[in-house]
Chain A
Amino acid sequence: MNRSRANALLFWGSFCTCYLLQLMPLPQVLLPFKPYWLALLVIYWALEAPERMGLGLAFALGLVGDAITGELLGEQALRLCILCFIILRFRSRLRFFPMWQQALAVLALLANDRIVLLMIRACAGEAPPPAAFWISPVTGMLAWPWVFLLIDDLRARVRVHES
C-alpha cells in the first residue's frame, strides 16, 4: 500500500518536474538544445511500467503540455500518443537492448516525433523550421541514459526502503 503510494508519487512527481523543466527559461542560444523532456519520460514509463502508461494517459499528458507550453491544442497529445504506441508495440525488444542501443532507439523515436511535428506544422501552414530544429532529438538521446539511470535509481530506492 505504502509502496504503491510512493511509486505513484514518483510517477506523478516525475511528470511535474518534467513540465517545469520544459518551461524553464533558457538563453536564446541554448533553446534549440532543450530536449523534449516529456517524450523522454513517456518513453521511460512506457518501457518500465506499461500498466500505468497507456495511450490515454499519454494523450492526457500531451493535452496538459499543450495547455502549458503548446501552440496548438492537441499537438503534443498526438505526438505523445504516437510515441507511446510505438514503444508499447516494441517494448519487449527495446527493454533488453543495451544502453547505447536504447539511446539510439530513443534518437530514432525523437526524430520520428520531430517529423510528425513537422507534418503538423506544415498542415497548419507554417514555414519550414531552421536546421536547429533537428538538434533537440540528439540532446534528447544524450540525456536519455541519465534520465533512465536517475529514475531507475529512485525506483530501486523506493523498493529497498519498502522491503
Chain B
Amino acid sequence: MAITTNDTTTPLFAPGASSTLRLIGYLALGIVLMVADHRAGYLERVRWSLSLAIEPLYRLAAAPARFANEARLALADREQLTERNAELSRELMLAQARLTRLTSVYEQNQRLKELLDVQRSIGVGVQLARIIDVDTDPFRHRVLLNVGSNQGVKVGQAVIDATGIMGQVVDVLPNTATVMLITDPAHALPVMIERTGVRTIARGGGALDTLELPHVPVSADIKVGDRLITSGLGGHFPAGFPVGEVRSIKIDITGMFAAAAATPSAALDRSGEVLLLHELTDPVGPPAPVPVSGPPAPEAAEKPAKAKP
C-alpha cells in the first residue's frame, strides 16, 4: 500500500480547487439563511425538531462535568467535613438557644395576656409586679416583689395571679415588698366552699401544693373536688377569688373535725408576674374593733401622764 491518496472513495462534497465564485455562492447562501432566520426564527424551529437528537448530545457533553462534581463530593476532604460538621453544630446550638429564648418569651407573653384578662374582668384597681426573689427557707413561703412603698404598695394588700389568690404583702421596703404565700404555715385565710357556701379557714400546709382545712365540721357538706373561694370575711381579701380545690378529706385524731387538704389554684411555685390588688375602698367584713373602754392598762396610762407635764 502506497501512501498516495486513495481515490476509491469519493468524498461527500467535491473538493477540487476552491474558486472564489463558490465562496461567494456559499456566502450568499449563508447570508440569506441568517436574514431569514433573524426575521422568522427558523433556528428555534429546527432545534425544536432536532431536540430529540440533540438532547442526548447535551447529556453526553455535560457528563464530564457531572462526574467531576460527583468525584469531588465523594473525595471531599475528611478535615473539611469535620470542620463543616463543627461549624454546623455550633450554628445549631446558637439556633437552639435562640429558639429556647423565643419559647420563654412566648410563655411570658401568654402569662401577661392572662393577667391582663384578669385585670379587665375583676374591675378592681391592680398593679403589676414581678417576683424577683424567693425565700429558700422551706418553712417560710415568702417571695420578694419588685415594687415597694415608692410604688404605693402597702402592707396587707392581696396578691393574685391569673388563676387565684397567691398571698398578701407582709413587709414593705422602699422598692421591694415581701409577700407571704397562702401556703406559709403562718398564714390563714377565710374561705368558702363554692358549692355549698360552708365557711372555713384555709391554713398554709408548709408545702407549696397544700392548704389545710383543719376545722371543718364532720357534718359539713364537703367533697373531694370542691372549689374553695375567698369569703371576703376579714377584709384583707376580696370575696369570690379562687383559692384552691379540695384534694382529700379525712377525720382528724379527735374525731370531731374533718381535716381536708386542698391544692392551691394559684401557680405558687412559678416565678413570673403577679397582680397586687389595691386596697378596697369599702372593706367588706366585720367592723373595726371598738376602742377598749374602761380604765386603761397601768403602763399605757403612765406614759401620757409623763408626757403631759
Q: Which residues of A approach B to under 8 Å, CB–CB? A: 1, 3-4, 8, 19-26, 50-57, 59-60, 62, 66-68, 70-75, 77-78, 81-82, 84-85, 88-89, 120, 124, 159, 162-163
Q: Which residues of B approach A to under 8 Å, CB–CB? A: 1, 3, 5-6, 8-9, 11-16, 18, 22-23, 26-27, 29-34, 36-38, 42-43, 46-47, 50, 54, 57-58, 60-62, 64-65
Dominant secondary structure of chain A at its interface with chain B: helix
Q: How far is the CA of A55 from the CA of B15 in the complex (A)?
A: 8
Flag if B46 contacts A67 (CB, 8 Å). yes
Flag if A51 contacts B1 (CB, 8 Å). no
Flag if B37 contacts A51 (CB, 8 Å). no
Flag if A54 contacts B30 (CB, 8 Å). no
* Given the contacts A50-B15, A56-B26, A74-B37, A66 and B61 also touching, CB distance less than 8 Å: no
**Residue of A at shortest CB range from B25?**
A55
Question: Among the listed A1, A67, A84, which residue makes an inter-chain contact with B43, where contact means beta carbons less than 8 Å apart?
Answer: A67
| In the complex, chain A residues whose CB is within 8 Å of the CB of B29 | 59, 74, 77
The 3 closest A-B pairs by CB, nearest first: A74-B33, A78-B30, A23-B61
Flag if B27 contacts A73 (CB, 8 Å). no
Q: How far is the CA of A50 from the CA of B60 in the complex (A)?
A: 30
Flag if B8 contacts A4 (CB, 8 Å). yes
Flag if B6 contacts A3 (CB, 8 Å). yes
* Given the contacts A77-B33, A85-B23, A89-B18, A54 and B1 also touching, CB distance less than 8 Å: no
Known: A21-B61, A56-B26. 5 other contacts (CB 8 A): A4-B9, A20-B61, A57-B12, A68-B54, A75-B34
Question: Among the listed B12, B22, B43, B61, which residue makes an inter-chain contact with A55, where contact means beta carbons less than 8 Å apart?
Answer: B22
Flag if A52 contacts B11 (CB, 8 Å). yes
